[in-house]
């Protein structure tokens, strides 16, 4: 899924959403790990594509947005 992150960043100037508080990111990561591990791995690929650590608790990578 790193490929879609690279495409979003380089071709569409996509910016990642930011959580209001790290507690939301931690809860989301825990939820994904327990309930949707197949979504957790691709989201970590998006983080890598944006040059962020895979344990980032600032950015929401489960949905990419594009500012038209």
* 22-50 pLDDT per residue, tens: 999 999 999 999 998 988 888 888 899 99
What is the enclosing helix (H) or strand (E) of 33?
Answer: helix 22-35
In this model, does residue 68 exceed pLDDT 70? no
Percentages of the chain per state (helix, strand, coil), in multiples of 5: 55, 15, 30
pTM: predicted TM-score of the whole model, two decimal places: 0.78
In this model, does residue 57 exceed pLDDT 50? yes
pLDDT at 64: 67
In this model, does residue 67 exceed pLDDT 80? no
| C-alpha to C-alpha distance for 38 and 19, rounded to whole angstroms | 22
């Amino acid at each position: 899924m790193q490929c879609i992150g690279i495409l979003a960043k380089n071709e569409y100037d996509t910016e990642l959403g930011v959580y209001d508080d790290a507690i939301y990111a931690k809860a989301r990561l825990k939820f994904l790990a327990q309930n949707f591990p197949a979504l957790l791995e691709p989201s970590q690929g998006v983080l890598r594509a944006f040059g962020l650590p895979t344990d980032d608790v600032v950015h929401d990578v489960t949905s990419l947005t594009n500012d038209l």
